[in-house]
Amino acid sequence: MQISDEKNTKIVATVGPASSSYENLLELAKVGVNVFRLNFSHGLHEEHQEVINRVCYINEKYGLHIGLLADLQGPKLRVGKIDGEGISLVENDVITFVNEPCVGTREKIYMSYESFPKDVNVGERVLVDDGKLVFEVIETNKKDTVRLKTLFGGTLKSNKGVNLPNTKISLPCLTEKDIADLDYILTQPVNWIALSFVRSSKDLKDLRKRIDAKNHPAKIIAKIEKPEAVERIDKIIKNSNAIMVARGDLGIEVPMERLPLIQKDIVRKCIQRARPVIVATQMMESMITNPSPSRAEITDVANAVLDGADAVMLSGETAVGKHPGKVVEAMTKIILEAEKSYDMVGRRPLPNKNSSTFLSDVVCFNAARTAIDIEAKAILGMTSSGYTAFKISSFRPNCEIIIFSDRMHMLATLNLVWGVRCFYYDKFTTTDETIHDVTEILKLAKRVKPGDVIVNSGSMPLHRRFRTNMLKVTVVE
Protein backbone atom coordinates (compact mmCIF):
# COMPACT_ATOMS: atom_id res chain seq x y z
CA MET A 1 0.00 0.00 0.00
CA GLN A 2 1.33 3.43 -0.96
CA ILE A 3 1.26 5.84 1.98
CA SER A 4 2.33 9.46 2.39
CA ASP A 5 5.33 9.50 4.74
CA GLU A 6 7.59 12.20 3.29
CA LYS A 7 6.71 14.82 5.88
CA ASN A 8 8.60 15.28 9.15
CA THR A 9 5.78 17.00 11.03
CA LYS A 10 3.23 14.38 12.04
CA ILE A 11 -0.57 14.45 11.83
CA VAL A 12 -2.86 13.40 14.68
CA ALA A 13 -6.46 12.77 13.57
CA THR A 14 -9.42 12.43 15.92
CA VAL A 15 -11.68 9.46 15.20
CA GLY A 16 -15.45 9.93 15.22
CA PRO A 17 -18.56 8.97 13.24
CA ALA A 18 -17.06 10.40 10.04
CA SER A 19 -13.88 8.35 10.24
CA SER A 20 -14.37 5.27 12.42
CA SER A 21 -15.07 2.71 9.69
CA TYR A 22 -12.27 0.45 8.48
CA GLU A 23 -12.39 2.00 5.02
CA ASN A 24 -12.11 5.55 6.35
CA LEU A 25 -9.31 4.71 8.78
CA LEU A 26 -7.37 3.03 5.99
CA GLU A 27 -7.86 6.02 3.69
CA LEU A 28 -6.66 8.42 6.40
CA ALA A 29 -3.59 6.25 6.99
CA LYS A 30 -2.81 6.36 3.27
CA VAL A 31 -2.97 10.14 2.99
CA GLY A 32 -0.83 10.96 6.00
CA VAL A 33 -2.26 10.25 9.47
CA ASN A 34 0.44 9.11 11.90
CA VAL A 35 -1.58 8.86 15.12
CA PHE A 36 -5.30 8.30 15.69
CA ARG A 37 -6.85 10.10 18.68
CA LEU A 38 -9.63 8.47 20.67
CA ASN A 39 -11.65 11.20 22.38
CA PHE A 40 -13.04 9.79 25.63
CA SER A 41 -15.34 12.80 26.01
CA HIS A 42 -17.50 10.92 23.50
CA GLY A 43 -18.29 7.33 22.67
CA LEU A 44 -18.64 4.05 24.52
CA HIS A 45 -15.77 1.72 25.30
CA GLU A 46 -17.23 -0.74 22.81
CA GLU A 47 -17.02 1.89 20.07
CA HIS A 48 -13.42 2.76 20.94
CA GLN A 49 -12.60 -0.94 20.97
CA GLU A 50 -13.79 -1.32 17.39
CA VAL A 51 -11.52 1.53 16.29
CA ILE A 52 -8.53 0.09 18.18
CA ASN A 53 -9.07 -3.31 16.58
CA ARG A 54 -9.27 -1.77 13.11
CA VAL A 55 -6.11 0.31 13.56
CA CYS A 56 -4.21 -2.70 14.90
CA TYR A 57 -5.38 -4.75 11.91
CA ILE A 58 -4.25 -2.03 9.48
CA ASN A 59 -0.84 -1.90 11.18
CA GLU A 60 -0.43 -5.67 11.02
CA LYS A 61 -1.68 -6.10 7.46
CA TYR A 62 0.31 -3.26 5.91
CA GLY A 63 3.38 -3.21 8.16
CA LEU A 64 2.57 0.24 9.55
CA HIS A 65 3.14 1.70 13.00
CA ILE A 66 0.23 4.10 13.40
CA GLY A 67 -0.04 5.24 17.00
CA LEU A 68 -3.07 5.41 19.28
CA LEU A 69 -3.70 8.39 21.56
CA ALA A 70 -6.37 8.14 24.28
CA ASP A 71 -7.57 11.58 25.36
CA LEU A 72 -9.20 11.67 28.81
CA GLN A 73 -12.12 14.06 29.27
CA GLY A 74 -11.02 15.66 32.53
CA PRO A 75 -13.19 17.81 34.81
CA LYS A 76 -15.71 19.41 32.45
CA LEU A 77 -17.72 22.21 34.07
CA ARG A 78 -21.19 22.83 32.66
CA VAL A 79 -24.45 24.56 33.44
CA GLY A 80 -27.41 22.21 33.80
CA LYS A 81 -30.64 22.01 31.87
CA ILE A 82 -32.17 25.43 31.11
CA ASP A 83 -35.92 25.96 30.86
CA GLY A 84 -37.29 26.39 27.34
CA GLU A 85 -35.04 27.68 24.56
CA GLY A 86 -32.66 29.37 26.99
CA ILE A 87 -32.33 32.55 29.03
CA SER A 88 -31.70 35.83 27.20
CA LEU A 89 -29.23 38.00 29.12
CA VAL A 90 -27.97 41.54 28.55
CA GLU A 91 -25.24 43.57 30.19
CA ASN A 92 -25.67 44.08 33.97
CA ASP A 93 -28.31 41.33 34.33
CA VAL A 94 -27.71 39.40 37.56
CA ILE A 95 -28.04 35.61 37.71
CA THR A 96 -27.49 33.03 40.44
CA PHE A 97 -25.52 29.77 40.14
CA VAL A 98 -26.30 26.99 42.62
CA ASN A 99 -24.67 23.60 43.21
CA GLU A 100 -27.92 21.65 43.64
CA PRO A 101 -29.39 20.17 40.42
CA CYS A 102 -32.42 22.05 39.11
CA VAL A 103 -33.97 23.23 35.85
CA GLY A 104 -32.42 26.62 35.18
CA THR A 105 -34.51 29.79 35.27
CA ARG A 106 -33.75 33.48 35.78
CA GLU A 107 -33.88 32.82 39.52
CA LYS A 108 -31.26 30.06 39.68
CA ILE A 109 -29.08 27.95 37.40
CA TYR A 110 -27.32 24.71 38.25
CA MET A 111 -23.56 24.50 37.69
CA SER A 112 -21.89 21.09 37.85
CA TYR A 113 -19.11 22.03 40.25
CA GLU A 114 -20.05 21.45 43.86
CA SER A 115 -17.15 23.47 45.29
CA PHE A 116 -17.69 26.45 42.99
CA PRO A 117 -19.15 28.72 45.73
CA LYS A 118 -16.25 27.80 48.01
CA ASP A 119 -13.46 28.22 45.45
CA VAL A 120 -14.61 31.35 43.64
CA ASN A 121 -13.92 34.91 44.78
CA VAL A 122 -15.67 38.22 44.14
CA GLY A 123 -14.35 39.91 41.01
CA GLU A 124 -13.39 36.70 39.18
CA ARG A 125 -14.71 36.09 35.69
CA VAL A 126 -16.94 33.20 34.61
CA LEU A 127 -17.10 32.34 30.90
CA VAL A 128 -19.90 30.23 29.41
CA ASP A 129 -20.34 28.60 25.98
CA ASP A 130 -16.72 29.00 24.81
CA GLY A 131 -16.61 32.57 26.09
CA LYS A 132 -19.69 33.78 24.25
CA LEU A 133 -21.18 34.88 27.59
CA VAL A 134 -19.01 36.55 30.23
CA PHE A 135 -19.94 37.14 33.87
CA GLU A 136 -18.30 38.63 36.95
CA VAL A 137 -18.75 37.21 40.45
CA ILE A 138 -20.38 39.81 42.71
CA GLU A 139 -21.23 37.60 45.70
CA THR A 140 -20.66 34.09 47.06
CA ASN A 141 -21.86 32.56 50.31
CA LYS A 142 -18.97 30.04 50.14
CA LYS A 143 -21.49 27.22 50.49
CA ASP A 144 -24.06 26.75 47.73
CA THR A 145 -24.81 30.03 45.94
CA VAL A 146 -22.92 32.47 43.69
CA ARG A 147 -24.36 35.68 42.22
CA LEU A 148 -22.95 36.96 38.93
CA LYS A 149 -23.29 40.14 36.89
CA THR A 150 -23.46 39.86 33.11
CA LEU A 151 -20.59 41.59 31.30
CA PHE A 152 -21.30 40.24 27.81
CA GLY A 153 -24.76 38.84 27.24
CA GLY A 154 -26.42 36.36 24.93
CA THR A 155 -28.67 33.34 25.21
CA LEU A 156 -27.70 30.92 27.97
CA LYS A 157 -28.65 27.42 26.81
CA SER A 158 -28.65 23.98 28.43
CA ASN A 159 -25.44 22.07 29.19
CA LYS A 160 -23.03 24.71 27.93
CA GLY A 161 -19.42 24.56 29.12
CA VAL A 162 -18.06 26.85 31.82
CA ASN A 163 -14.52 28.23 32.07
CA LEU A 164 -13.04 29.82 35.19
CA PRO A 165 -9.87 31.62 34.06
CA ASN A 166 -9.22 33.35 37.40
CA THR A 167 -10.35 30.65 39.84
CA LYS A 168 -8.04 28.12 41.50
CA ILE A 169 -10.35 25.15 41.23
CA SER A 170 -10.06 22.29 43.71
CA LEU A 171 -11.36 19.54 41.44
CA PRO A 172 -8.98 16.60 40.92
CA CYS A 173 -7.51 16.35 37.43
CA LEU A 174 -8.71 12.74 37.15
CA THR A 175 -12.47 12.43 37.57
CA GLU A 176 -14.39 9.23 38.35
CA LYS A 177 -15.17 8.94 34.65
CA ASP A 178 -11.49 9.37 33.76
CA ILE A 179 -10.49 6.63 36.20
CA ALA A 180 -13.08 4.25 34.72
CA ASP A 181 -11.89 5.13 31.21
CA LEU A 182 -8.27 4.70 32.27
CA ASP A 183 -8.97 1.22 33.65
CA TYR A 184 -10.21 0.29 30.18
CA ILE A 185 -7.45 2.13 28.29
CA LEU A 186 -4.75 0.31 30.23
CA THR A 187 -6.01 -3.02 28.85
CA GLN A 188 -5.41 -1.77 25.29
CA PRO A 189 -2.30 -1.19 23.09
CA VAL A 190 -2.56 2.59 23.48
CA ASN A 191 0.69 4.51 23.03
CA TRP A 192 -0.18 7.90 24.47
CA ILE A 193 -2.60 9.05 27.17
CA ALA A 194 -3.53 12.75 27.18
CA LEU A 195 -4.44 14.31 30.52
CA SER A 196 -6.85 17.24 30.28
CA PHE A 197 -6.78 20.47 32.29
CA VAL A 198 -3.36 19.84 33.82
CA ARG A 199 -2.60 22.48 36.44
CA SER A 200 0.67 21.24 37.92
CA SER A 201 3.24 18.46 37.66
CA LYS A 202 1.48 16.69 40.55
CA ASP A 203 -1.43 15.89 38.23
CA LEU A 204 0.98 14.04 35.94
CA LYS A 205 2.54 12.10 38.80
CA ASP A 206 -0.88 10.82 39.88
CA LEU A 207 -1.57 9.53 36.37
CA ARG A 208 1.91 8.00 36.08
CA LYS A 209 1.37 6.00 39.27
CA ARG A 210 -1.81 4.48 37.85
CA ILE A 211 -0.13 3.62 34.54
CA ASP A 212 2.91 2.09 36.25
CA ALA A 213 0.69 0.06 38.58
CA LYS A 214 -0.66 -1.72 35.49
CA ASN A 215 2.86 -2.09 34.04
CA HIS A 216 1.66 -0.39 30.86
CA PRO A 217 4.18 1.31 28.51
CA ALA A 218 1.90 4.24 27.58
CA LYS A 219 3.45 7.69 27.72
CA ILE A 220 1.74 10.82 29.05
CA ILE A 221 0.74 13.94 27.13
CA ALA A 222 0.02 17.00 29.28
CA LYS A 223 -2.69 19.17 27.72
CA ILE A 224 -2.03 22.86 28.32
CA GLU A 225 -5.47 24.44 28.74
CA LYS A 226 -5.26 26.44 31.98
CA PRO A 227 -3.42 29.64 32.92
CA GLU A 228 -1.87 27.77 35.86
CA ALA A 229 -0.31 25.31 33.41
CA VAL A 230 1.24 28.14 31.41
CA GLU A 231 2.72 29.58 34.62
CA ARG A 232 4.18 26.18 35.57
CA ILE A 233 5.09 25.05 32.07
CA ASP A 234 8.75 24.22 32.82
CA LYS A 235 7.92 21.70 35.56
CA ILE A 236 5.05 20.27 33.55
CA ILE A 237 7.31 19.70 30.53
CA LYS A 238 9.92 18.08 32.78
CA ASN A 239 7.39 15.64 34.27
CA SER A 240 5.55 14.74 31.06
CA ASN A 241 6.51 12.71 28.00
CA ALA A 242 4.87 15.14 25.56
CA ILE A 243 2.82 18.34 25.49
CA MET A 244 -0.36 19.33 23.67
CA VAL A 245 -1.08 23.03 23.17
CA ALA A 246 -4.87 22.72 23.40
CA ARG A 247 -5.82 26.11 22.06
CA GLY A 248 -9.58 25.73 22.52
CA ASP A 249 -9.94 26.08 26.28
CA LEU A 250 -6.56 27.81 26.59
CA GLY A 251 -7.69 30.50 24.16
CA ILE A 252 -10.75 31.13 26.31
CA GLU A 253 -8.91 31.28 29.62
CA VAL A 254 -5.97 33.49 28.63
CA PRO A 255 -6.21 36.84 26.82
CA MET A 256 -6.57 36.04 23.13
CA GLU A 257 -3.65 38.24 22.11
CA ARG A 258 -1.29 36.16 24.28
CA LEU A 259 -2.14 32.83 22.67
CA PRO A 260 0.22 32.95 19.64
CA LEU A 261 3.27 33.77 21.76
CA ILE A 262 2.31 31.18 24.39
CA GLN A 263 2.14 28.58 21.63
CA LYS A 264 5.55 29.55 20.24
CA ASP A 265 7.14 29.62 23.69
CA ILE A 266 5.82 26.17 24.61
CA VAL A 267 6.99 24.67 21.31
CA ARG A 268 10.46 26.15 21.82
CA LYS A 269 10.75 24.83 25.37
CA CYS A 270 9.56 21.36 24.35
CA ILE A 271 12.21 21.14 21.64
CA GLN A 272 14.85 22.18 24.18
CA ARG A 273 13.80 19.37 26.53
CA ALA A 274 13.27 16.76 23.78
CA ARG A 275 9.55 16.49 24.47
CA PRO A 276 7.24 16.02 21.48
CA VAL A 277 4.74 18.86 21.18
CA ILE A 278 1.36 18.85 19.44
CA VAL A 279 -0.41 22.01 18.30
CA ALA A 280 -4.16 21.40 18.42
CA THR A 281 -7.65 22.86 17.97
CA GLN A 282 -9.33 24.69 15.09
CA MET A 283 -6.42 24.16 12.74
CA MET A 284 -8.63 23.55 9.69
CA GLU A 285 -12.07 23.86 11.27
CA SER A 286 -13.77 25.35 8.21
CA MET A 287 -13.21 22.01 6.48
CA ILE A 288 -15.78 20.40 8.76
CA THR A 289 -18.17 21.61 6.08
CA ASN A 290 -16.03 23.13 3.31
CA PRO A 291 -13.92 21.18 0.79
CA SER A 292 -10.89 23.48 1.22
CA PRO A 293 -9.30 25.40 4.12
CA SER A 294 -9.36 29.15 4.65
CA ARG A 295 -6.21 31.14 3.95
CA ALA A 296 -5.84 31.86 7.66
CA GLU A 297 -5.97 28.12 8.42
CA ILE A 298 -3.30 27.40 5.82
CA THR A 299 -1.07 29.98 7.46
CA ASP A 300 -1.84 28.61 10.94
CA VAL A 301 -0.73 25.08 10.01
CA ALA A 302 2.38 26.38 8.23
CA ASN A 303 3.36 28.52 11.22
CA ALA A 304 3.10 25.52 13.56
CA VAL A 305 5.45 23.64 11.21
CA LEU A 306 7.89 26.57 11.03
CA ASP A 307 7.85 26.85 14.84
CA GLY A 308 9.05 23.23 14.94
CA ALA A 309 6.00 21.41 16.32
CA ASP A 310 6.26 17.63 16.25
CA ALA A 311 2.63 17.25 15.24
CA VAL A 312 -0.50 19.14 14.29
CA MET A 313 -3.89 17.79 15.32
CA LEU A 314 -7.30 17.57 13.69
CA SER A 315 -10.41 17.34 15.88
CA GLY A 316 -13.90 17.84 14.47
CA GLU A 317 -12.42 18.03 10.98
CA THR A 318 -11.89 14.25 10.90
CA ALA A 319 -14.29 13.20 13.69
CA VAL A 320 -17.52 14.65 12.31
CA GLY A 321 -16.52 16.57 9.18
CA LYS A 322 -17.78 16.00 5.66
CA HIS A 323 -14.32 15.59 4.12
CA PRO A 324 -11.90 13.80 6.51
CA GLY A 325 -9.70 12.48 3.71
CA LYS A 326 -9.49 15.85 1.97
CA VAL A 327 -8.59 17.55 5.25
CA VAL A 328 -5.60 15.25 5.81
CA GLU A 329 -4.52 15.57 2.18
CA ALA A 330 -4.64 19.37 2.43
CA MET A 331 -2.77 19.40 5.74
CA THR A 332 -0.08 17.10 4.31
CA LYS A 333 0.43 19.44 1.34
CA ILE A 334 0.75 22.46 3.63
CA ILE A 335 3.25 20.65 5.86
CA LEU A 336 5.43 19.52 2.95
CA GLU A 337 5.53 23.00 1.46
CA ALA A 338 6.32 24.66 4.81
CA GLU A 339 9.08 22.15 5.53
CA LYS A 340 10.92 23.25 2.40
CA SER A 341 11.67 26.49 4.26
CA TYR A 342 12.09 24.96 7.72
CA ASP A 343 15.50 25.77 9.15
CA MET A 344 16.68 25.09 12.70
CA VAL A 345 20.10 26.69 12.21
CA GLY A 346 20.89 28.69 15.33
CA ARG A 347 17.89 27.22 17.16
CA ARG A 348 19.14 23.72 17.94
CA PRO A 349 19.35 23.24 21.70
CA LEU A 350 22.81 22.54 23.09
CA PRO A 351 23.24 19.63 25.53
CA ASN A 352 22.94 20.64 29.16
CA LYS A 353 26.22 20.00 31.01
CA ASN A 354 24.35 19.61 34.29
CA SER A 355 22.07 16.87 32.97
CA SER A 356 22.49 13.28 34.14
CA THR A 357 22.30 12.27 30.47
CA PHE A 358 24.84 14.83 29.25
CA LEU A 359 27.23 12.33 27.63
CA SER A 360 24.42 10.59 25.75
CA ASP A 361 22.95 13.94 24.76
CA VAL A 362 26.30 15.02 23.29
CA VAL A 363 26.42 11.87 21.16
CA CYS A 364 22.88 12.50 19.85
CA PHE A 365 23.67 16.17 19.22
CA ASN A 366 26.76 15.26 17.24
CA ALA A 367 24.85 12.64 15.28
CA ALA A 368 22.57 15.43 14.05
CA ARG A 369 25.42 17.89 13.49
CA THR A 370 27.56 15.32 11.69
CA ALA A 371 24.63 14.39 9.44
CA ILE A 372 24.31 18.05 8.47
CA ASP A 373 28.04 18.54 7.90
CA ILE A 374 28.50 15.47 5.70
CA GLU A 375 25.07 15.74 4.01
CA ALA A 376 24.08 12.28 5.22
CA LYS A 377 21.11 10.49 3.69
CA ALA A 378 19.85 9.38 7.10
CA ILE A 379 20.58 8.93 10.77
CA LEU A 380 20.03 5.34 11.89
CA GLY A 381 19.24 4.74 15.54
CA MET A 382 18.72 1.56 17.52
CA THR A 383 16.56 1.92 20.61
CA SER A 384 14.59 0.00 23.17
CA SER A 385 13.53 2.84 25.46
CA GLY A 386 12.99 5.41 22.69
CA TYR A 387 15.57 7.76 24.21
CA THR A 388 17.79 7.89 21.11
CA ALA A 389 14.85 8.77 18.87
CA PHE A 390 13.45 11.49 21.13
CA LYS A 391 16.83 13.12 21.58
CA ILE A 392 18.05 13.02 17.98
CA SER A 393 14.68 14.34 16.80
CA SER A 394 14.94 17.31 19.16
CA PHE A 395 18.03 18.49 17.26
CA ARG A 396 15.94 18.57 14.06
CA PRO A 397 18.52 17.23 11.56
CA ASN A 398 17.92 17.89 7.87
CA CYS A 399 17.81 14.21 6.94
CA GLU A 400 15.64 11.21 7.74
CA ILE A 401 15.74 9.76 11.25
CA ILE A 402 15.26 6.01 10.89
CA ILE A 403 14.77 4.09 14.12
CA PHE A 404 14.98 0.33 14.65
CA SER A 405 13.53 -1.32 17.74
CA ASP A 406 12.54 -4.77 18.94
CA ARG A 407 9.47 -3.32 20.67
CA MET A 408 6.45 -2.96 18.39
CA HIS A 409 4.70 -0.73 20.91
CA MET A 410 7.65 1.67 20.91
CA LEU A 411 7.60 1.94 17.12
CA ALA A 412 3.98 3.14 17.19
CA THR A 413 4.79 5.50 20.07
CA LEU A 414 7.60 7.09 18.07
CA ASN A 415 5.28 7.76 15.13
CA LEU A 416 4.30 10.98 16.93
CA VAL A 417 7.88 12.26 16.98
CA TRP A 418 9.20 14.76 14.43
CA GLY A 419 11.07 13.22 11.51
CA VAL A 420 11.14 9.66 12.85
CA ARG A 421 10.45 6.64 10.62
CA CYS A 422 10.36 3.25 12.30
CA PHE A 423 11.32 -0.33 11.45
CA TYR A 424 11.10 -3.50 13.50
CA TYR A 425 14.35 -5.37 14.15
CA ASP A 426 14.98 -7.95 16.86
CA LYS A 427 18.31 -9.58 15.93
CA PHE A 428 20.66 -7.22 17.74
CA THR A 429 24.06 -8.95 17.93
CA THR A 430 27.35 -7.12 17.48
CA THR A 431 27.31 -3.47 16.53
CA ASP A 432 28.87 -4.04 13.09
CA GLU A 433 26.52 -6.93 12.25
CA THR A 434 23.49 -4.93 13.34
CA ILE A 435 24.50 -1.90 11.26
CA HIS A 436 24.99 -4.18 8.25
CA ASP A 437 21.61 -5.89 8.76
CA VAL A 438 19.57 -2.71 9.20
CA THR A 439 21.29 -1.11 6.21
CA GLU A 440 20.28 -4.10 4.08
CA ILE A 441 16.69 -3.71 5.31
CA LEU A 442 16.71 -0.08 4.20
CA LYS A 443 18.16 -1.01 0.81
CA LEU A 444 15.34 -3.49 0.27
CA ALA A 445 12.84 -0.83 1.33
CA LYS A 446 14.50 1.58 -1.15
CA ARG A 447 15.22 4.04 1.63
CA VAL A 448 18.95 4.09 0.85
CA LYS A 449 21.12 3.13 -2.11
CA PRO A 450 24.83 2.39 -2.66
CA GLY A 451 26.94 5.47 -2.09
CA ASP A 452 24.62 7.05 0.48
CA VAL A 453 26.26 8.21 3.68
CA ILE A 454 24.63 7.15 6.95
CA VAL A 455 25.23 8.27 10.52
CA ASN A 456 24.64 5.38 12.94
CA SER A 457 23.85 5.96 16.61
CA GLY A 458 22.85 3.78 19.53
CA SER A 459 24.03 2.07 22.69
CA MET A 460 26.95 -0.29 23.22
CA PRO A 461 26.07 -2.92 24.25
CA LEU A 462 22.99 -2.53 22.07
CA HIS A 463 20.42 -3.40 24.76
CA ARG A 464 21.72 -0.85 27.26
CA ARG A 465 18.87 1.58 27.97
CA PHE A 466 19.08 5.38 28.18
CA ARG A 467 22.79 5.40 27.31
CA THR A 468 23.41 6.40 23.71
CA ASN A 469 27.20 6.18 23.46
CA MET A 470 27.99 5.11 19.87
CA LEU A 471 28.38 7.20 16.73
CA LYS A 472 29.61 5.68 13.47
CA VAL A 473 29.58 6.94 9.89
CA THR A 474 29.17 4.36 7.13
CA VAL A 475 28.76 4.40 3.36
CA VAL A 476 26.15 2.10 1.83
CA GLU A 477 27.78 -0.56 -0.35
Catalytic residue of the set 76, 78, 147, 149? 78
- 223 belongs to the catalytic site: yes
What residues are paired with 312 via a beta bridge?
Answer: 11, 279
Residue type, 395: F
Q: Please tell me which residue in 7, 10, 157, 223 is annotated as part of the active site.
A: 223
d(CA 61, CA 451): 32
Phi, psi of 338 (to 5 degrees): -65, -35
Query: Amino acid identity of 228?
Result: E
SS3 18: coil
Select which of 281, 318, 413, 468 is catalytic. 281
E-state strands within 406-477: 420-424, 453-458, 470-475
**Residue 78 annotated among the catalytic residues of the structure:** yes
The helix or strand, by DSSP H or E, that contains position 136, with its residue range, turns out to be strand 133-140
User: Is residue 37 among the annotated active site residues?
Assistant: yes
Q: Which of 37, 160, 269, 275 is catalytic?
A: 37
Cα of 68 vs its chain's centroid, Å: 11
Nearest 5 degrees, angle CA 224-CA 226-CA 232?
75
Q: Report whether 304 contacts 334 (CB < 8 A).
A: no
Q: Determine the Cα–Cα distance for residues 270 and 234; give it in Å rounded to an integer.
A: 9
> Is residue 433 exposed (0-12), middle (13-18) or buried (19+ Cβ within 10 Å)?
exposed
333 as an active site residue: the answer is no
Number of helices (H), then strands (E), in the chain: 16, 21
Q: Which positions are annotated as active-site residues?
A: 37, 78, 223, 281
